Structure 1
């Protein structure tokens, strides 16, 4: 793995002799999401990291992305910076937009040095030349780059191939916080051998702890092995919860590997900060009361139990508020789909909205009667902590991370106890005094976590990971 064209990774100074970046935030996974797509879960955290780094005036911080075709991390192109900047890019970091001919020359030079790239690389280079604009010009440039790449490949086969330079990260002075895309081994060439110059965020170990609740792709199957390799090679870990820290440490010890240096950071109240900027934090009464569950629709989130509870309520003649499930559909939802198809009477009392915008989600939190989060296992559980941010009582499962995310303030029930959930949901819907007492508890004991506090903790951990002596790597 190399960080080419980032002088800070190898020298600590830029060409002008000023201090250059030594802490790199990897945006690779984030750049793969389509523009305008509503982000949730891990992508939302990565968006927070990238935006915080771009807005940070600290010259020690830089945002990079892994270019698989060239086997290197690079600073973001100007159009990528503009797209993900939070409220303006730190002035020293803003990259001058090259003219069209200069950008085209740079793109062709990149192809000349790395002719074995794929179509994604050509697309990115064409976007750089056209400043992110698509159209006839973009298509023409992409075809030109592709043709030139084919030509260079022919030369390579004739013995003119130029090898990619190997300039490793200086592990004593630089640290790259890799994205989840790299962590899940979708870009295997990003890290090889010594990982002392890298850090990763351990959101959870669900593929290892509960493989029955995740997909069966090669990435999920290899997750534990790859994580062990990273830790064994000296990578630094950041955990989103105390529970993740414990499970990561326990897993490594059971595998006979010295646990990594682990840094904790408080999960930022990203959506609440957005609501505050928009002056949209006050509660209001909706036209119809509803219960909110904000989460990806997948088997481990346990939506099927909620569907069974709402059907039981219909059979019992119990009037529950409408259940609103917000989130995109994920893996292993066949059983849920079959259940909903077999019980069309649930189409009214149970609504699946799909992904929605942040503004819409904020309105849901501001007006929900209460929330539910019956997931079987979690790394954190953003939908639960966001309920508290907006002053909404929420019933959670007894998964340790969910109890942690809600500060132990909310009622918790085993995820498999359908009778217990039915009783708690009925009580929350019918006992307004109990619900009000939980709302008061939130107001007294919970405070949203400022994004600045999370970013400061991450930076402190990165600095500590960069400066620790080699013997501390275990």
Structure 2
């Protein structure tokens, strides 16, 4: 892993210049319903965006990618409403100018970029109506579209000179892009025209284990997107040492210079939410149960647990109820078929579907222990969340899961059904062993404050921006 240098080392020109704007990309969050239970990558991105919105530093902002322009722009008021889950620093708040002023600004945007597509018209219409849908939005969208066609006709007839697009707002100096930008079809976002970029490298699973993911175009291009970013000099931000080392090794094998990798501590977001609610203490329940919080997909290996609980049923062994919290995902046909062939399993295994933060907190506070048998992970939030709430968890031998659980918990190969069955039985039946693991957590694990994670990421972004500024200054000499 490349070690970043001291960000304070800059030349005289860099020191004299005003600090560049650091931006967190909120594009991916726009595709999630506001206020719904976020997990995994969306949860991390929500934390980042809201940390940027709450930061009083005027050089920090939240942005979204405008594909029609190939640029990142500050969030419109309705977009702020969509992504904000906490206080917004006053300097971030953009007051809606009112419908008349907003419409005038939209017309000006059309005059500046008359050849933009319908996506831009939809965005401008939402800006004019402050994100409200309905008849007013539809009428505004059609009005803007008509005005755009009128401007194009004037240009073709020579009555109006073509005005190339000119942004009225300065672009951010460095953007930490969302996972959506990294995995979706809009390649222009990672081109050199989109500004200076950094990226969160959650994992390299689409490249390392394509057999465990979908076959969409975003997944198949994932490796080439990463390589393009690293070639351009984009630094990587990784929550685990394992992912940082894997990324560096992948680039070495591809003949690409190793990226600068910044390691940041994964924030204990759910535990911090629970702390604010005063809901971290243990809840005793009448029926013991085991928690597995994860999207239900082939990579997460739920079928191993189904087979273990079925084995227990056949042997007359009483295991605690298994609660699988998370939405149904992809490549799960074998699991569905197994459940259909063993209908009695649903008497001892519960699939909750998507749950709210409040519900998930209740599960963690009352679970007997956790399991996380995933084949491969970039981190494994469900494992570290078990430790945050003080409950033991059995994890697979995936290196990132061992790292996420601090090396404190038992780890078993995800293909070793016999080993998992024995460990689950022991955890359920051996109270002394389970208590010793609980005590180990209490002695050696502490939840990570979100502020510590944000401070590390912000420091890395600042250092990276300083590096780029220093490099550009040298080239100009």
| Structure 1 and Structure 2 fold alike (TM over 0.5) | yes
Deviations 1:129-162 (A, max 9, x none): 2222223222222232233334444456657654
- Of residues 247-256 and 135-144 in structure 1, the stretch that sits farther from structure 2 once superposed is 135-144
Deviations 1:11-57 (A, max 9, x none): x9xxxxx9686111111111121223321111111100000000000
Q: CA deviation at 1:119?
A: 4.0
- Which SS does the other structure have where 2:282 is aligned? coil
* Unmatched runs of 5 consecutive residues or more in structure 2: 1-12
2:135 corresponds to? 136
2:285 corresponds to? 286
CA distance 1:79–1:471, shift in 2 (3 Å): closer
- Counterpart-to-counterpart distance in 2, 1:410 and 1:186: 39
Matched, 1:177 2:173: no
User: How much is the aligned-residue C-alpha RMSD, in angstroms?
Assistant: 2.4
For 1:349-360, list aligned pairs within 5 A: 349-360=348-359
Matched, 1:334 2:333: yes
1:127 corresponds to? 126
1:3 corresponds to? none
TM-score by structure 1 length? 0.91
Contact 1:21 1:62 (C-alpha < 8 Å) held by counterparts: no
- Of residues 24-33 and 456-465 in structure 1, the stretch that sits farther from structure 2 once superposed is 24-33
CA distance 1:161–1:333, shift in 2 (3 Å): farther
1:9 corresponds to? none
Deviations 1:426-472 (A, max 9, x none): 11111111111111111111000000000000000001100013299
- Counterpart-to-counterpart distance in 2, 1:68 and 1:229: 18
Q: CA deviation at 1:232?
A: 0.9
2:443 corresponds to? 444
Q: CA deviation at 1:245?
A: 0.5
Q: CA deviation at 1:294?
A: 0.4
For 1:164-243, list aligned pairs within 5 A: 164-165=165-166, 174-193=173-192, 197-243=196-242
Q: CA deviation at 1:167?
A: 11
Contact 2:214 2:331 (C-alpha < 8 Å) held by counterparts: yes
TM-score by structure 2 length? 0.90
2:96 corresponds to? 97
Contact 2:20 2:174 (C-alpha < 8 Å) held by counterparts: no
> Which gives a bigger RCO, structure 1 or 2 (Cα 8 Å, sep 6+)?
2
Matched, 1:259 2:258: yes
Contact 2:188 2:194 (C-alpha < 8 Å) held by counterparts: no
- Counterpart-to-counterpart distance in 1, 2:418 and 2:300: 17
Contact 1:169 1:197 (C-alpha < 8 Å) held by counterparts: no
Deviations 1:105-149 (A, max 9, x none): 112222333344444433322222222222322222223223333
Contact 1:323 1:349 (C-alpha < 8 Å) held by counterparts: yes
Deviations 1:387-414 (A, max 9, x none): 0000111000000000000000000000
Contact 2:71 2:193 (C-alpha < 8 Å) held by counterparts: no
Deviations 1:344-394 (A, max 9, x none): 111221111111110001001101111000000000000000000001110
- Of residues 78-87 and 306-315 in structure 1, the stretch that sits farther from structure 2 once superposed is 78-87
For 1:241-390, list aligned pairs within 5 A: 241-390=240-389
- Counterpart-to-counterpart distance in 2, 1:141 and 1:86: 29
